[in-house]
Amino acid sequence: AQSVTQLDSQVPVFEEAPVELRCNYSSSVSVYLFWYVQYPNQGLQLLLKYLSGSTLVKGINGFEAEFNKSQTSFHLRKPSVHISDTAEYFCAVSEATGGGADGLTFGKGTHLIIQP
């Protein structure tokens, strides 16, 4: 079984400032890692994913994340945020060996609030 911890439930940031949303995971097997964004009353949109290879992953909307195996972390970053980035962000994991048979395990989410 896996677990995901998002350390910050809410992160306020000024517009055009950089931001980092933290995510740590726990698993006894290799995992795939994902970051999703959710706007109010909507489903989830994939920002980026780590499957293997380069530990720095670039996603949509200028976001990137770095996989750190030794620290079991997958923090999400953006160098300059925009008002439109205000949303809920979820970190998630799935077993890499499960063939995709298992659903995702989500963190509790981080509400990113962009202040003008």
Partner 1 sequence: GAVVSQHPSWVICKSGTSVKIECRSLDFQATTMFWYRQFPKQSLMLMATSNEGSKATYEQGVEKDKFLINHASLTLSTLTVTSAHPEDSSFYICSARVDSARYGYTFGSGTRLTVV
Q: CB of residue 16 vs partner 1: minimum separation in angstroms?
A: 27
Q: At 102, phi and psi to the nearest 5?
A: -100, 150
Q: How many residues bind partner 1 (CB under 8 A)?
A: 26
Q: Which is nearer to partner 1, 99 or 116 (CB)?
A: 99
Q: Is residue 53 a contact point for partner 1 (CB under 8 A)?
A: no
Which range touches partner 1 (CB under 8 A), out of 11-19, 44-52, 60-68, 72-80?
44-52
Q: Is residue 90 a contact point for partner 1 (CB under 8 A)?
A: yes
Q: Is residue 42 a contact point for partner 1 (CB under 8 A)?
A: yes
At a CB cut-off of 8 Å and minimum separation 6, what does 1 contact?
Answer: 27, 28, 105
Alpha-carbon span 61 to 53, nearest angstrom: 22
Residues that bind partner 1 (CB under 8 A): 32, 34, 36, 41-46, 49, 51, 90, 94, 96, 98-109
